Amino acid sequence: MNNHWRGFRVWSWLVPGLIVLVAGLLIGPRIADDQQRENCVVNVRLLGPLGISLNCDSPEYLRLAHEPSGLLEVDNTRQSRPGIILAASAISVIFSPLRHLPKWFDIAAQRQDIDPRRISGALASQFPAYFAYLTINISVLLLTFFVFLQILGEVSLAPEEHPVIAGSVGVLLVANDVTKAYFYSPHSQMFNVFGPVFAMWATVRTLNGALKKTRFATIAGLITGFGMTGYPTFALVILCVAASATLSFIYRRALPRPELLNLGLFFAAAISPMACWYAFVWLRTGSAYVHEFTGPTTWISESYDILSVASTILKGIEWLIEQAAPQCIPIGVLAALMCAAAVLAPRSFEMIWHKCKELVIASVIVSVIFAVFFSCTGTMAARWAYTPLPPIVILLGAMLFLIAGWLQAKWRFALGVALFLLGWWQVFYTIAKNGPFT
């Protein structure tokens, strides 16, 4: 069997689940009309039983993709997220023939406290931009799976050896509450799915000594930098790489000059896209606005009192656990399957630390950094509480992948079936439940 076909088999276990997921999420709207304001959505009726609950920020994302010059408006709240808007503006050209679809199919929005023309008008005049955002969102999910496969390769695991396991774990990564709430809304929140997975890849590679290579520092830095232009919390990737590099230097008791230079190159590449953007904005307008540094979710406390700060962080962690717990069902099942498989192949445990130690360390670094950061914002939402979970899913999935190689054929088949059923259960569970839209 050639490598292209074996690679296709891995993807063939993900794509059907993803198709069913995005199709199932069209059944709606899921939010009752009298709960739209509470959940910050606007219901949009489509054909027959189909409908979506569009996030209340989406009209602004649509407007700016249609008129990118709006990013230069004074105090525009999306000035700190130009990347996704400019990308959607460029992609929307492809979908310009679809601009009349809302009128042909009588697509309408309903919300009493908002002028219906604001939403319906946005869809009617900016429908190509809407499809551009959908293209970005599906690309984010496919890239998430692609990076997951690269992570397996980083720890010398070949995804094509057990395609059912790799594909099923991929389904668990893309079928989640963030996807449910934001896939059909023009927004940047879908990066809460990709961001932690990319951070995991960058961290594992750094632990494996990738900073010896200028190519890694440049590419990882630029991806991080352009990611920050779409969603500022990509800056956490910088912290993850810095933490893993520090651990690597401590473990080896050395500070190699080439690696230090490449670490500096990574920082420069990560910071430069946003720095260039704000320099451009400042030169054009004489001011710059960073919405994340204003409002109720800017930082841990308005006070510098240590006790107040500590109290805010602890309360944030408590809220994070409360919001993340309902999203942890797949992790619990993965852990149970790993324990059961390890009992059947006890010798495999001897290999787990040898093969997966970088993954263990990376999952701790990434999960802790994302959890602590969002706990420091002074509030919590389910989409943020989800971010520490993908590294754990990846770690457990990789361990199951490794253990599978030590199982007898019948037990390996049973493990594949169990993971396949878990993946599809997660798809239908995500579709069926209301999910957190706030």
Could you read off the pLDDT of 365-381 as tens digits, one per residue?
A: 999 999 999 888 777 88
Which of the residues in the chain have pLDDT under 50? 1-2, 4, 298, 301
3-state secondary structure 8-34: HHHHHCCHHHHHHHHHHCCECCCCCHH
Among candidate residues 330, 14, 331, the one with its CA nearest the CA of residue 142: 14
> pLDDT at position 351, please?
74
Task: For 357-412, give the DSSP string.
Answer: HHHHHHHHHHHHHHHHHHHTTS---HHHHTTTHHHHHHHHHHHHHHHHTTS-HHHH
Question: According to the model, what pLDDT value does residue 179 have?
Answer: 95
Whole-angstrom Cα distance, residue 217 to residue 189?
26
Contacts of 385 (CB under 8 A, 6+ apart): 319, 320, 321, 322, 323, 324, 327, 374
Omega before 29 within 30 of 0, i.e. cis: yes
User: Which residue is associated with the tokens 């590679």?
Assistant: 205
Count CA atoms closer than 13 A to 245's CA, side-chain side: 23
> What is the pLDDT, as a whole number, of residue 56?
84
CB 333 within 8 A of CB 422: yes
Using alpha carbons, list the distances in angstroms from residue 29 to 36, 53, 102, 198, 434. 10, 5, 17, 32, 10
Asked if residue 137 lies in contact with residue 182, where contact means CB atoms within 8 angstroms, the answer is yes
pLDDT in tens, 88-136: 999 999 988 877 666 655 565 655 556 555 555 566 568 889 999 999 9
DSSP string computed for 168-202: HHHHHHHSSHHHHHHTTS-SSTTHHHHHHHHHHHH
Q: For residue 43, what pLDDT is reported? A: 83
Phi, psi of 407 (to 5 degrees): -85, 155
Exposure letters 279-294 (e unless 16+ CB within 10 A, then b): eebeeeeeebbebeee
Q: What is the DSSP letter of 49?
A: T
Distance CA 46, CA 26 (A): 9
Beta bridge partners of residue 189, listed in sequence order: none
